[in-house]
Structures are given as C-alpha cells and as structure tokens.
Amino acid sequence: MISEAEAQELLESKDLIAIGMRADEIRRKRHGGQTTFVRVFEIHVDVQPASLPSRTSAGEFRIVGSPRSLDAATAAVRNGRSVAGEVPLTGFSLADLVTLEGSSSLADTLRALREAGLEAISEVPLDRLDHAETAIAEARAAGLTVRRLTVDVQQPDDRMALAHRARTLQNTVGGFHAFAPLSRTMSISSPTTGYDDVKQVALSRLVADNITSIQVDWQLYGPKLAQFALTIGADDVDAVAAVDAGTLGTRRSPIEEIRGNIRAAGLEPVERNGRFEAIG
C-alpha cells in the first residue's frame, strides 16, 4: 500500500498518465488482462414487473430505490425472487434500511428481507453509514451477502478519505469483492469532471489495494469513461443492460457493445453474475 503522504501527493498531482500507469500495474498483477462485467436487470422497489421483457438475459436482478416501509421492501423482494428464478437477487442501499417504517431494528429488517428471498445487499455507501462495521455485521448475521462498497455523493474533500475507508473496512470486517469509488448520485453543487472521475478510479486502485476489484458503472458513466477507467485501474463493469431491444442488430446488442469496448482497451471480457462468478 502507498503511504498517506504519497497518496496525498498523488491526489494533488496533475500527472494523470503517471498515476494511471501505477494503478494499471496493480490491476494487471491481480487480473492480467481479464475484465469482468455483469448484466443487471433493475427492479424499482415501487414498480414491480409481473413478467420479464423479451430478450432479457441477466446475471443479476437488483432491486433499486429507497423503500417506504418494511412491507414495501419485502413485497419487492418476493416479486423479484419470482422473476429472478435462479439468478442472484440483490437489492437496496444498506443506509436506506437503517431506519425503516414497520421495523423495530435494522436486524429485524435484514432478517425479513432474507426470509423473503433476498440474497445480497447491493450497496454499502461509505459516505452515508456512520457505523458501517456494525451494519455490515448485522447484514451478514441475517444471512445476507455484502460484497460491494459504494459512494452515494462524493465531496471534493472526501476523495482520498473514502478510498482509505474502503481499505480499512476490508481489513476490519473483510469479505468485499468490489469497491465502486464514483458517485452514484451527481452533486449539483460540486459536480465532478471526467478528469476527476478517472483520477479517482486510479487513486482508489492504489489505496484500496486489498480489495479485489475496482468497479465502474456502465449505465451511469457510459462507455467512453468506462473504457478509459479500465486502462487505469478498474477491472469490473457494473450495470450493463440486460434487455436487448433488438433494434440495432446483433453486433450492436448490449452484450456485444460491452465486449467490444473491453477488447478495444486491449483487455479480455469475462461475463460474471451477481455472486462475482464467471459465467461466460
């Protein structure tokens, strides 16, 4: 791991190429040329499908949105379980479950979600959980998997602190496969630039070197930034579309687009599921 002083020096540096080369070196030592991706079918907690669209192929079904109550959350899980079949069903931000109408405690909420059919918590936002270690331990005690650390809204002053926190959590409670260091919600008051985003990916790879994968979101950040991120430390692409509308032809389907994007970066695409298991 790089020292805090060295990390701060890199944060202040304008030499993105040098930072990216160092991050890519760590990435390649871990993964060689392999880059994983997952096709995700999202189910909003308040809008639950009765059936799947045609041409759906997902490695993960994910419940998104903040539930209004425990009843709403468990109803979404039961519905999600019915359409997901054997595919992993994940859902919710752990921060949204801490206080939920109709539940006496986080532990009760998590047990109810597991009993309804949820397999894993999909988001652990480092910027919103004051007692992340306790919440993660309760989720795992309820039988839920917690594999991914995330960031809801990153503030400029938090960029290095969040990467250090991800590393510390891996050391203290462990079990994380991926860290997604870019904001899932764009800040209106302090928007990031593409330069900021790719630099954050590289710094996160350097600082959180005890976490297997650094992840970038295909849906939120798009193919151009995702492809560049893969050359400077990222090795996993989240949220590739699971539904192919069939209007652009086979060569421009979501699966071929992501594979082509990864190959164009000089890397080998490997499809995975929500358990981080290779499936193609």
Average per-residue pLDDT for the chain: 92
Confidence at residue 190, expressed as pLDDT on a 0 to 100 scale: 67
Write down the pLDDT at residue 247: 62
DSSP 115-170: HHT--EEEE-BTTT-TTHHHHHHHHHHTT-EE-EEEESS--GGGHHHHHHHHHHHH
pLDDT value, residue 159: 80
In the block, residue with structure tokens 């189910």: 43
The predicted pLDDT at position 249 comes to 57
Phi, psi (5° rounding) for residue 44? -70, 140
Determine the average pLDDT of the residues in 78-85.
96
Report whether 262 contacts 237 (CB < 8 A): yes
Domains, the chain, in order of start with CATH, read 4-271 (3.20.20.70)
Which H helix or E strand runs over 155?
Answer: none
Q: Could you tell me the pLDDT band of residue 188, with boundaries at 50, 70 and 90?
A: low
Angle at 95 between CA 94 and CA 101, to 5 degrees: 95
pLDDT score of 251 = 63
pLDDT tens-digit series, residues 241-260 = 999 876 655 567 899 999 99
Q: Which amino acid is at 58?
A: A
State the pLDDT at residue 191: 73
pLDDT value of position 186 = 76
Q: How far is CA 274 from CA 86, 90, 156, in A?
A: 11, 8, 30
pLDDT reported for residue 10 = 74
Residue type, 265: A
Give the Cα separation of 106 and 84 in Å (integer): 25
Task: Please give the C-alpha separations between residue 182 and each of 102, 195, 200, 204, 266, in angstroms, as whole numbers.
Answer: 32, 12, 7, 10, 23
189: pLDDT strictly greater than 70: no
Query: Residue 1: its pLDDT value, please?
Result: 67
How is residue 248 written in tokens?
A: 């652009």
Convert the pLDDT of each residue in 34-59 to its tens digit. 999 999 999 999 998 888 988 899 99
- The pTM of the whole model exceeds 0.75: yes
Q: Residues 113-146: pLDDT tens digits?
A: 999 999 999 999 999 998 999 999 999 999 999 9
Whether the pLDDT of residue 271 is over 70: the answer is yes
- What is the distance between the alpha carbons of residues 240 and 112, in angstroms, rounded to a whole number? 29
| 134-160 as b/e: b if 16+ CB within 10 A | ebbebbeebebbbbbbbbbbbeeeebb
Taking 90 as the threshold, does the pLDDT of residue 194 lie above it?
Answer: no
Cα gap 183→234, rounded to integer Å: 15
Q: Are the C-beta atoms of 152 and 193 separated by less than 8 Å?
A: no
Assess whether pLDDT exceeds 90 at residue 20.
yes
